[in-house]
């Protein structure tokens, strides 16, 4: 059988395409590396979920090579040696199952950072080929279809919107937000109410949030979280036009020596080679793996890799980076009942310095430390560097878990794309199937840390006014592996860019890349709302132009 559309991956970059094209009557197949799960399979098993390794390959079998700069040179370390996994969820819906759902749109000026601030030495920033105004209807579409809960309040750098409110009211908040808002007022900062891709009300077969207290890093057993699986693929399946082949690891997209992909080659869990034929191919395997697949799909006609006549595949990777910090609250701030109210959200962020006159700033999101009792208990096992045991440890754990809560903050600043942050493949490093793995060079631009420090200090000011104890923070130039984009930049120049403004390959007319790979810069926020919105935009374009696209 030849499908109309074959989608590689099933996460945030894939779901909107599956949803829209199957509803438009196209015969769609998804090839997903992982297995199929549904709400009833998801538990709050801390060890399984926070390590996510029940949903990701064993690093001995399938790894990445991390290239870091050590003592004056780039050093390659296979990830099975340092346990630094860049797999984020190999299952239907991908890592969108595990996200916390902190949702931020980009702002109009994010699309023209180079115009706004000029070139940064050592950075490869570029303006986007599209504007915020072109993406806005699809941000709005994501709000409605994926489900975003929140409340619009006035704040600096507010992006324009076509609607006045989110489609779902805000999730219930913990009393600590009152202290947060008061502290912000005292400092003349504006508390921003963070929208969440978590339903506060039921929606078409999905239950609202039941405030389980185990959200970020856990898959959602109520269907409230706007994962690609719950929000888009489940309804797409109901059309009867979507077929999912699970445990299908796509290793090559094969062309017929023209500008057309004919079939996707995949391996079953047992390593058996199989093929799927389709008219159109959508690649959405998350940024690192999408670049890897294109580079590994090289052939006689495309010796540098598929869609890579520009040589830009894998280049200009970005990560939504920054750092983390925390402050502690106890019974001197709240009575026990108020302090320990489980499951309620903080949903506050600071965005006052998203753009400053001198430099591009960013966002600080505030959230309670994840509940995870095992991790918390484990962190208490030492006193003055010495292990403690028995009743002493028991009392300390009891005391901490019943009288303290930690308010964390996460800093997000633009990861400056640069020539030392890219994905490549190297024949010397292969997975258990004999396929070259992705090498990830993780060079960061020094500006990232400067901005991260600036933002963290603002967050510390808020925690201080709130009366938090033991305030700490750490800003890091290392990439967070779960927030990845870039590698297949879109742009207007086929000599420089992998994709055109509709995320269609310049070289291969029936190939689109719709995960975060297309992004030239990432904005100072986690990427998922933008990935969803852009994928809806591309779906709209494909739907309107399907027949013409096949003739090109």
| List of residues contacting ligand FAD (CB under 6 A) | 8-14, 31-34, 88-90, 94-96, 98-103, 216-217, 248-250, 284-286, 289, 293, 482-483, 515-516, 526-529, 531
Pull the structure tokens for residue 270. 């047992």
Residue nearest to ligand FAD as judged by C-beta position: 11
Pull the structure tokens for residue 84. 């630094």
Q: How far is the CB of 11 from ligand FAD (least distance, A)?
A: 2
Q: How far is the CB of 402 from ligand FAD (least distance, A)?
A: 27
**Residue 99 or 146 having the CB closest to ligand FAD:** 99
Pull the structure tokens for residue 122. 């050592």
Q: How far is the CB of 285 from ligand FAD (least distance, A)?
A: 3
Show Cβ contacts of residue 303 under 8 Å, excluding neighbours closer than 6 positions. none
> What are the backbone angles phi and psi of residue 95, rounded to the nearest 5°?
-70, -10
Whole-angstrom distance between the N-terminal and C-terminal Cα of the chain? Answer: 22
- What's the CA gap between 195 and 87, in Å, rounded? 26
Q: Of all residues in the chain, what percent are helix, strand and coil, respectively (each to 5)?
A: 30, 25, 45
- CB count within 10 Å of CB 81 equals 11
Q: Report the SS3 class of residue 277.
A: strand
Which residues pair with residue 66 across a beta bridge? 77, 440
- What's the CA gap between 189 and 460, in Å, rounded? 13
Q: How far is the CB of 226 from ligand FAD (least distance, A)?
A: 10
**Residue 333 or 479 having the CB closest to ligand FAD:** 479
278 by Cβ neighbours in 10 Å (0-12 / 13-18 / 19+) ranks as: buried
- What's the CA gap between 5 and 303, in Å, rounded? 25
- What's the CA gap between 206 and 147, in Å, rounded? 10
- What's the CA gap between 486 and 434, in Å, rounded? 26
Q: How far is the CB of 396 from ligand FAD (least distance, A)?
A: 28
Q: How far is the CB of 118 from ligand FAD (least distance, A)?
A: 28
> What are the backbone angles phi and psi of residue 246, rounded to the nearest 5°?
-90, 170
**Residue 176 or 251 having the CB closest to ligand FAD:** 251
Q: How far is the CB of 127 from ligand FAD (least distance, A)?
A: 22
Q: How far is the CB of 302 from ligand FAD (least distance, A)?
A: 18
**Residue 132 or 218 having the CB closest to ligand FAD:** 218
**Residue 24 or 148 having the CB closest to ligand FAD:** 148
**Residue 33 or 333 having the CB closest to ligand FAD:** 33
Q: How far is the CB of 121 from ligand FAD (least distance, A)?
A: 29
- Widest Cα–Cα separation across the chain: 74
**Residue 320 or 447 having the CB closest to ligand FAD:** 320
Dihedral, CA of residue 432, residue 7, residue 550 and residue 265, to nearest 10? 20
Q: How far is the CB of 403 from ligand FAD (least distance, A)?
A: 28
How far is C-alpha 117 from the geometric centre of its chain's CA atoms? 26
**Residue 49 or 117 having the CB closest to ligand FAD:** 49
- CB count within 10 Å of CB 68 equals 15
**Residue 144 or 469 having the CB closest to ligand FAD:** 144
**Residue 91 or 176 having the CB closest to ligand FAD:** 91
């Amino acid at each position: 059988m030849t499908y109309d559309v074959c989608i590689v991956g099933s996460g945030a970059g894939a779901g909107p395409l599956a949803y829209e094209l199957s509803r438009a009557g196209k015969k769609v197949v998804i090839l997903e590396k992982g297995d199929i799960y549904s709400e009833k399979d998801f538990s709050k098993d801390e060890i399984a979920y926070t390590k996510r390794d029940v949903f990701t390959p064993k690093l001995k079998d399938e790894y990445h090579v991390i290239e870091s700069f050590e003592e004056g040179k780039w050093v390659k370390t296979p990830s099975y040696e340092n346990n630094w996994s860049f797999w984020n969820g190999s299952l239907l819906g991908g890592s969108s199952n595990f996200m916390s759902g902190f949702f931020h749109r980009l702002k109009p000026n994010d699309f023209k950072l180079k115009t706004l601030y000029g070139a940064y030495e050592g950075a490869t920033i570029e303006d986007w080929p599209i504007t915020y105004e072109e993406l806005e209807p699809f941000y709005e579409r994501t709000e409605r279809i994926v489900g975003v809960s929140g409340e619009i309040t006035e704040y600096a750098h507010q992006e324009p919107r076509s609607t006045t409110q989110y489609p779902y009211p805000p999730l219930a908040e913990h009393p600590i937000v009152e202290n947060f808002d008061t502290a912000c007022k005292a400092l003349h900062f504006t508390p921003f109410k963070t929208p969440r891709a978590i339903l506060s009300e039921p929606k078409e077969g999905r239950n609202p949030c039941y405030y389980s207290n185990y959200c970020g890093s856990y898959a959602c057993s109520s269907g409230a979280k706007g994962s690609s699986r719950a929000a888009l693929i489940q309804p797409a399946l109901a059309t009867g036009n979507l077929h999912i082949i699970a445990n299908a690891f796509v290793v090559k997209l094969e062309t017929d020596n023209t500008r057309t992909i004919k079939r996707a080659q995949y391996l079953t869990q047992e390593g058996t080679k199989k093929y799927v034929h389709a008219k159109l191919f959508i690649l959405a395997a998350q940024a690192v793996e999408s670049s890897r697949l294109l580079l590994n799909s090289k052939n006689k006609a495309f010796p540098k890799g598929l869609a890579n006549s520009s040589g830009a595949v894998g280049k200009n990777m970005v990560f939504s980076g920054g750092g983390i910090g925390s402050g502690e609250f106890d019974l001197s701030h709240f009575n026990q009942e108020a302090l320990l109210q489980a499951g309620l959200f903080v949903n506050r962020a600071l965005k006052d310095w998203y753009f400053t006159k001198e430099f591009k700033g960013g966002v600080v999101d505030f959230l309670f430390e994840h509940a995870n009792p095992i991790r918390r208990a484990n962190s208490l096992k030492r006193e003055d560097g010495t292990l403690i045991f028995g009743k002493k440890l028991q009392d300390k754990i009891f005391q901490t878990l019943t009288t303290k809560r930690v308010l964390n903050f996460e800093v997000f600043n633009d990861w400056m794309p640069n020539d030392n942050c890219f994905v490549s493949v190297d024949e010397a490093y292969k997975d258990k199937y004999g396929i070259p793995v992705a090498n990830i060079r993780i060079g960061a631009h020094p500006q990232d840390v400067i901005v991260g420090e600036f933002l963290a200090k603002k967050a510390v000011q808020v925690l201080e006014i709130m009366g938090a104890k033991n305030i700490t923070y750490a800003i890091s130039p290392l990439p967070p592996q779960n927030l990845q984009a870039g590698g297949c930049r879109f742009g207007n120049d086929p000599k420089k860019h992998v994709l055109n403004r509709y995320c269609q390959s310049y070289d291969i007319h029936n190939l689109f890349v719709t995960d975060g790979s297309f992004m030239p810069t990432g904005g100072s926020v986690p990427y998922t709302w933008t990935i969803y919105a852009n994928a809806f935009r591309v779906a709209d374009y494909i739907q309107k132009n399907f027949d013409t696209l096949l003739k090109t």
